Structure 1
């Protein structure tokens, strides 16, 4: 293989992200399927994965963006189904908003419950979160069993619908089906992906995109 590889001249980390968004915008010209904040979310999903197919797969409940933003503005509790998703929502964004991000997968009560009841830890963690944390936002990027249990508990009246569920479990066993359950529930504001694609990093980036909106609002108002 011969020839010289031409690299883009980018000086700072922030410039890399800015340039990436510019490239995505140029490759998805207007009119786009989504506008405003929905486009900011979809664009960040593409930025996280380099997968433009997500633009055709992401689905927004009509109340999802407004409800999610309201929860973040109020300093909500966010529950994730993996430590990876928790780590993907940095506290440099959450702390200024007064938000808390927690994952219960390694909680001793969750481990004991899963073993006793022969369920997954994700299933048990969802039940414990509903009973103790009552998070306003759920971020599910890995475990279909967590998303299925969440939807079932809402439909059973065991928990009230959260302000937002980011439903993006990835995989081949019940991943697509669990997301279909969420989108057909009706009472839960969601941002979800049709089909098998998803993942913890992808689910986390949705919260990051929403948080950036609220942080920008506060910066304009002089609050931060």
Structure 2
């Protein structure tokens, strides 16, 4: 499949607009402390939001970008906290690597379980993903629900699961910043976060698209 069908706009006009947009971001940011791979992620997040604060708010564990690239090349599943992430991800790009993006927050059994034990649907959705064997070696993508991220952290600490990468960017005022601070304390699981209250599904999608692009570049160069 062609590069354009995977990682770029499909028309020459679209490609030029995206190229010009990235050039503007590069020019306005100037010098930064990110590595080349990390900057590909941050730049796309800024491009998706027009918010230059993500130059600085975005943080990476040491092996985050490499871990994400390898997970994609291995066809690792993506588990999202909300459907918006799954809808936002390019299906042709995912299909190129044989990747599925799944979420369970609206499943009837998840809703029933959340009501039964008085927890959130996000918590029960991540438990279902774990029971289906999707979290170990998978990419966890959280853009909305801090409780989803907190539950994944609990399972890492108490049940020994080990995702290939956690993109932890929940947005909001209750536990959002705190859940990301806790994720940043992990040493054995790679992570990408946005510090503070800012986050959202759009950012998660942008970050994963950047990783997909980096993975395809790696694939074409080998």
How far off its partner does 1:35 sit? 2.3
Aligned positions, number: 209
Larger radius of gyration: 1
Mapping for residues 19-38 of structure 1, pairs under 5 Å:
19-30=20-31, 32-38=32-38
In structure 2, the partner of 1:3 is none
8 Å contact kept, 2:105–2:111: yes
The TM-score, its normalising length taken from structure 1, stands at: 0.90
* C-alpha RMSD of the superposition: 1.3
Please say if 1:181 is aligned against 2:182: yes
Please say if 1:61 is aligned against 2:61: yes
* Alignment gaps of 5+ in structure 2: 1-11
What do residues 80-127 of structure 1 show as CA deviations (whole Å, max 9, x unaligned)?
011101111111111011111101111222111111111111010011
Distance 1:128 1:67 in 2: 24
In structure 2, the partner of 1:151 is 153
8 Å contact kept, 2:41–2:207: yes
Distance 1:107 1:203 in 2: 22
How far off its partner does 1:161 sit? 1.8
Distance 2:20 2:187 in 1: 38
8 Å contact kept, 1:130–1:159: no
Distance 1:219 1:188 in 2: 27
* Alignment gaps of 5+ in structure 1: 1-10
In structure 2, the partner of 1:163 is 164
Mapping for residues 110-125 of structure 1, pairs under 5 Å:
110-125=110-125
Please say if 1:81 is aligned against 2:73: no
In structure 2, the partner of 1:70 is 70
Please say if 1:206 is aligned against 2:207: yes
How far off its partner does 1:220 sit? 4.3
In structure 1, the partner of 2:3 is none
Distance 1:96 1:172 in 2: 37
